[in-house]
Amino acid sequence: MTEMVYGTAPMRVGEPVIPRWWRTVDRWTLSCVLLLLCVGVLLGLASSPPLAARNGLPPFYYVQRQLFFGIMAVIAMVVTSMMSPDSIRRLSVLGFFATMLALICLPFLGTDFGKGAVRWYSLGFASVQPSEFLKPCLAVFAAWMMAAGQEINGPPGKALSLGFTVLVVGLLAMQPDFGQAALVSFTWMVMYFVAGAPLVLLLGLAGLAVFGGFLAYNGSEHFARRIDGFLSPDIDPRTQMGYAQNAIQEGGFFGTGVGEGQVKWSLPDAHTDFIIAVAAEEYGLILVLFIIALYATIVLRSLHRLTRERDVLIRLAGTGLITLFATQAMINMGVAVRLLPSKGMTLPFVSYGGSSLIAAGIGLGMLLSLTRHRPQGEIGDILLKRAR
């Protein structure tokens, strides 16, 4: 019925799947993701050999694993991007409940690997962090409920999405993983705003989030220590933040040179949370700006395509996915330059980590699927016809 009213774009009958995918997918975004993966491998060559030496492993052990997980992420991204929006929705609903169950079972079956937070399942040869896979599924799942709530006689979708999001935030805070909890909360609020939420209500929810942070500060020594360290005017040069600050200052505009950086020998998380410090020290501001430009291109290209999309579910889901992606990147880089307190969050497609790489591939694959050109009129065409 929609096509009868608004018309459709020409469709090439009998076109094979791969040529049709290549013609309709955003190749700029796809290229930027591949470049980010290449940068990640390049920085892994610099940052991971010291860690391998400390653990008695071959020098390029972590680089080989990052390359393997990167290939898996690309495969997951391409396969997911070939799916239809309906298939993305079904995959997200199933994935959401599966990862929710995994989160619930974490306190009983998970491990903390000596880091004080039970976030992983150990498989022996690898580990899995279910919260990484939960985030993109939650974004699409919440968008589906919000979109359904806007239909005539539809369910209370916004209230339901809020309920599930609060449940997820509570499970993440119990690990504790306040960084991921804040990321999920912020993403839902952006989606809620795009869905037409009153500003007063959003301000009230923001106030509740601040109150929750106050409770976490008073109830978690780990959280309070990170906040106090962030607010302190002095930086202990022997802490991770101190090493990262010194590395960024030493790098300058052109960097100290390939392999000449020293921060990788001091930072235990140089290949994950503080990978941008390695980039700044060895390659300078030039590489950092290049990385930021790649992220900005992905975000702007995706938002440009979403503004022309008339399907409410696709607009909301795409907004949630790109908010997750962009905010996580900003948090990681903001922590490295001390604009934000330490969060323990990876840089998408650049940091080492199997779960984060593959989950990021799935999330960007969903976004690429939702932003593909499809045989339907764009929202601008509809508004123009109505104006006439």
Question: So what's the pLDDT on residue 56?
Answer: 85
The answer to whether 168 and 184 have CB atoms below 8 angstroms apart is: yes
13: tokens are 């009958």
Burial readout 54-66 (b: 16 or more C-beta within 10 A, e: otherwise): eeeeeeebbbebb
As a whole number, mean pLDDT of residues 56-70 equals 91
DSSP string, 190-236: HHHHHTT--HHHHHHHHHHHHHHHHHHHHH-HHHHHHHHHHH-SS--
* Residue 27 neighbours by CB distance under 10 Å: 12
Q: What count of residues does the chain have?
A: 388
Residue 333: its pLDDT value, please?
A: 92
pLDDT of amino acid 1: 38
- State pLDDT tens for residues 131-140: 999 999 999 9
Angle ∠(136,142,148) on CA atoms, nearest 5: 140
Q: How far apart are CA 95 and CA 237, in angstroms?
A: 42
Tell me which H or E stretch contains 31: helix 27-54
Burial bucket for residue 382 (CB in 10 Å: 0-12, 13-18, 19+): middle
Phi, psi of 122, rounded to the nearest 5 degrees? -90, 125
Inside any domain, residue 2 = no
* Exposure of 327 in the CB half-sphere (CA atoms within 13 A): 21
Position 39 confidence tier, pLDDT thresholds 50, 70, 90:
very high
* Residue (of 308, 305, 301, 352) closest to 326 by Cα position: 301
Whether 7 is in a domain gets the answer no
Measuring CA to CA, which residue among 348, 359, 295, 328 is closest to residue 80? 359
Helix (H) / strand (E) element for 122: namely strand 121-122
Cβ 235 vs Cβ 241: under 8 Å: yes
Residue 33: CB atoms within 10 Å: 24
| Structural domain containing residue 195 | 23-387
185: left (phi over 0), alpha (psi -120 to 50) or beta: alpha
β-sheet bridge partners, residue 122: 127
Distance CA 252, CA 81 (A): 39
Mean pLDDT, the chain, integer: 84
User: What is the rounded CA–CA span in Å between residue 328 and residue 190?
Assistant: 14
Asked if 277 and 337 count as a contact pair (C-beta separation under 8 A), the reply is no
The verdict on residue 199 lying in a domain is: yes
Cα Rg, the chain, nearest whole Å: 22
Burial of 238 (0-12, 13-18, 19+ CB in 10 A): exposed
Lowest mean pLDDT among 53-62, 134-143, 185-194: 53-62
Q: What mean pLDDT is predicted for residues 22-28?
A: 93
What is the per-residue pLDDT for 139? 96
Looking at the domain assignment, is residue 291 inside a domain? Answer: yes
Alpha carbons 309 and 371: distance in angstroms, whole number: 8
154: pLDDT confidence band, cut at 50, 70 and 90? Answer: confident
- Reference 331, options 346, 353, 349, 352; nearest CA is 346
What is the model's pLDDT at position 222? Answer: 66
Q: Average pLDDT, stretch 36-49?
A: 90
Q: What is the pLDDT of residue 2?
A: 41
The tokens describing 301, both together, are 């290209």
For the segment 323-374, what is each residue's pLDDT rounded down to a tens digit? 999 999 999 998 888 888 777 788 999 998 889 999 999 999 999 999 998 7
Domain count, the chain: 1
Per-residue pLDDT, 238: 65
CB 164 within 8 A of CB 143: no
In a domain, 10, yes or no: no
- State mean pLDDT over 80-87: 94
End-to-end CA distance of the chain: 21
Within a domain: 269: yes
Is 14 contained in some domain?
no
